[in-house]
Structure 1
């Protein structure tokens, strides 16, 4: 393993790793005959990746891109996403990955908020990019990925003259915020290398062997998991990242076996879908040593490990700090939502609403820091252009995660729930406030409250409680309900990524509020009631489809 210095940049470290591990595979796309690109699969060695990165750097440099610029990558899960990211970072350019499920208004927000200088866009997504660009006041140029050889549009402003450093921004990743629009988490070169180092050195059942691992990751490259956590652990250890285009239950075991994966990354929804499949020989005929992920249902944890033949190591991490905590040392606490102990470099407290420590065994918010002397070391650099939100999250010198946990008498931490107003659906964080704000722009919606309800497959689903405007309420009848539901759902689908649209809708006469007119979400339904079974609840889950998937 090569350990990066605290002053290393991604470009410097990548080329050192490429020299050391030249002939080893770095990036692999598993074969998939139904896929339009690389149907036979593809493998790039460290040396081949370095050669490609040098070529991309030359082209970006010739067009004037360098330190201080931001480039959006709309490349889905292509291997080229990582090659472009490495080239951009080596030049000091900040990478802004694009969520391919964004609708034009969401993408327009990213374009304006990140103020990107250029976008690299798949030809199949050019119409999406153009629709978003025309909604934005800032309209940067783009280059079509398949027409790369024709050249890049020149940079609109000159690059800065200084060379990239460890604290230079490497990525801006957007994460749902409790107040509505996503926040841009600025991640430095040091953050990304430190995240990989933390994972690669956790040890125990998560040990990376000197001969290198083959890590299968079906998660999207616009998330911190695949593009940073796993990729830099791979890079530091001379291992290989097998990057699927996306998770497909029917292809999981085929791709895992054919790629000879030794590590797999998962979400809770992935495990549930795999467990729901009929047993077959492939699920035990593999090379997997361990799975790394979060959200496996406690009642399934032991059973799935026994069925598939490898441990599922539950972790905790977030975009603001993905130097993970993980339950990886035997004896593990399987099926308890345990995710590890505090470690040097990740100090933990469990606190109440006044930031006072709570006793072990009692739930409280988890707050973290690197150390008393350097609390923010190796954390995210801050929320883009939002110093107030950054400082609020760091109040008292501890980063407030928004996650409610308990700590037992051994120091083991157990996840309880999210304190923030966030819905977690199939690995996606959904800000209830963002969905509420968009629902209120529908002409028939007077008031709304969006909450999470359980979902047997996707962990949680979006439930919208809606008070209609008088004209709509008076006209509502059993015959017109479906038309109104379709109108509301289509409105959400037009302005929000498909996964954010309500899967359940409840029409209410009123929504309880406090004396200061703050909505009391906890009072909408009686305690202990599963609202999904109530008379008058509308199930729209079948309408939620990833319509723009390629």
Structure 2
């Protein structure tokens, strides 16, 4: 029986050997400085076996964690599967992370090795020194250096519950949490997608799936990669979403399936209509968050359904819901009905079950004997947070939804204090902790404000140490604060708006009143005391 992701890939290579597993388009190849083309399952298997042997010889084994800072390159998959064969858990590292984030990730995850782009080696070494952790660093193609310390679980048999990956989510009340994801998490995600059918039916040996989503997130790593692996399909990972080149990439890839974030349809609809809008072979899109006012118009224009789904890093496919059957109730933020293997509760503030069309927090669990089947194993080094998330035997998602009279689920809002910008979850407290360290700042509170393209944008409300004399002083201070943040956090977490205020809404115990802040922040956009800093939020390019 297949027990690990490596086992699943080995089985796929045996069945689909000559078929392509990965396709790298010329645009993506140029962005990465690598060769374009396809990599067959059998050829990938040979490279994975060689890597596995090299890692084994260097002393890596069960219980080790290895960071992968490789973006969406084929190398990510090869190293992941090779390490998985040895019981090593991989920790995907977002290439946008900067000093403070890297220091925390290295210290918290205790990775023994980082396989990274050469231009990020110095950053990783500096972060490891700040974290006080021993860390070996290598590039793809290097011989693995000897392990920094012995494998903590050497000799332990590998199975579905062996940790496969550690994925970090945004921390809603503090630092990002590390989700320990076992082999079962990925295997179940692939099997779920391969078998859900309906409008999302996958045809074995025939699919070509394009995803611009990053491999540091569960969608691309669990759903996209594992679904193609389970069905002998070809995955076409892009370096990122490029609106002007999207349809050319889709056509060149001969894509039958695309994965999307809600921001993507909105950007694609801004382009002028073209006779080539339907010149593609896409049967469906899989994603979440499409603007309900654009949903029907997009499908009518481009000729395929956008299947809205709900899941979290924590839930995996253990509790996933997707609108893959009609009626999908397009234009209502509907994400379907739960299948028979998922149980759902919608709880009001007092803990009672919500009535029809009454909003409440979404609680989920897997049906059957094991309510945690397919979920994360737990939060690393945070048993209290794991127990809290599972209060009462249900996983508390922090998302507010409603169920209509027909039993369909509709997304309403997020209960948690998270900013959702272009598909990235941003913890307000993480941005606040960085800004608070700047000498200009006396107090700070961060909230989401609406953005027509990105969904949310980051607003920082700043009480300055000293009054700012005029608009010019405000602009200079705002730029300094944003550049400070860009040095510590990923670019998308930096404030897109900085408002200088006399005071913050606080509770009697001097905690930020998040409800009042949420209402206040949008009213400050465009005000004289608010500086628009969106233009400063540029991705820090990684040289090839």
TM-score range, shorter chain: over 0.9
Q: 1:225 Cα shift?
A: 0.9
Q: Extract unaligned runs of 5+ from structure 1.
A: none
1:203/1:360 Cα in 2 relative to 1: closer, same or farther (>3 Å)?
A: same
CA distance in 2, matches of 1:175, 1:360: 31
Match of 1:393 among 361, 375, 389: 389
Q: Quick one: structure 1 residues 413 and 526, their matched pair in 2 at CA, closer, same or farther if it must change by over 3 Å?
A: closer
Query: How many angstroms does 1:34 deviate by?
Result: 7.3
Count, aligned residues: 539
1:307–1:245 distance in 2 versus 1, CA, 3 Å:
same
**Residue number among 298, 301, 305 corresponding to 2:295 in the alignment:** 301
Instruction: After TM superposition, give the deviation of residue 9 of structure 1 in Å.
Output: 1.6
Instruction: Say whether residues 1:407 and 2:403 are aligned partners.
Output: yes
Partner of 1:204: 198
Alpha-carbon displacement from aligned partner over 1:358-403 (angstroms, at most 9, x marks no partner): 1120000000001363211111000111100100100000000110
Q: Does 1:478 align with 2:476?
A: no
1:417 — aligned with what?
A: 413
Residues 106 and 289 from structure 1, CA distance in 2 versus in 1: closer, same or farther, beyond 3 angstroms? same
1:369 aligned partner:
365
Partner in structure 2 of residue 18 of structure 1: 13
**2:455 is the alignment partner of 1:455:** no
- Which residues of 2 match residues 304-383 of structure 1 at below 5 A? 304-323=298-317, 324-371=320-367, 373-383=369-379
Contact preservation (8 Å) 2:16, 2:205: no
Deviation at 1:38, TM superposition (A): 5.8
Q: In the alignment, which residue of structure 2 is the partner of 1:503?
A: 496
- Alignment equivalent of 2:137, drawn from 129, 136, 142: 142
Alignment of 1:133-282 (within 5 A): 133-146=128-141, 148=142, 151-159=143-151, 160-282=154-276
Tell me, yes or no, if the aligned pair for 1:349 and 1:368 is still in contact at 8 Å: yes
Q: 1:212 to 1:355 in 2, by over 3 A?
A: farther
1:146-165 Cα deviation digits (max 9, x unpaired) = 5x1xx221113333012211
1:283, distance to aligned residue in structure 2 (A): 2.6
Secondary structure of 1:401's aligned partner? strand
CA RMSD of aligned residues (A): 1.7
CA distance, structure 2, for counterparts of residue 549 and residue 317 of structure 1: 30
Q: Distance in 2 between matches of 1:484 and 1:271?
A: 35
In structure 2, distance between residues paired with 1:251 and 1:477: 43
CA distance, structure 2, for counterparts of residue 206 and residue 182 of structure 1: 32
Q: CA deviation at 1:23?
A: 1.4
CA distance in 2, matches of 1:230, 1:36: 21
Which shows bigger deviation, 260-269 or 151-160? 151-160
Q: Does the aligned pair in 1 maintain the 2:294–2:331 contact within 8 Å?
A: yes
Say if 2:209 and 2:234, in contact at 8 Å, map to a contact too: yes
TM-score, length-scaled by structure 2: 0.96
Contact 2:24 2:37 in 1 (8 A): yes
Q: Which runs of no fewer than 5 residues in structure 2 stay unpaired? A: none
Task: Give TM-score, length-normalised by structure 1.
Answer: 0.95
Alpha-carbon offset, residue 488 of structure 1 = 1.2
3-state SS, counterpart of residue 85 of structure 2: helix
Deviations 1:254-311 (A, max 9, x none): 1110110000000011111111122234331111000111111000000011111110
The answer to whether the 8 Å contact 2:134/2:148 transfers is: no
Distance (whole Å) between structure 2 residues aligned to residue 76 and residue 451 of structure 1: 29
Q: Which moved more, 1:40-49 or 1:82-91?
A: 40-49
Distance (whole Å) between structure 2 residues aligned to residue 372 and residue 192 of structure 1: 19
Which residue of the partner structure matches residue 123 of structure 1? 118
DSSP-derived class of the 1:135 partner: helix
- 1:491 is displaced (CA, Å) by 1.5
Deviations 1:213-241 (A, max 9, x none): 10001111111111111111111111111
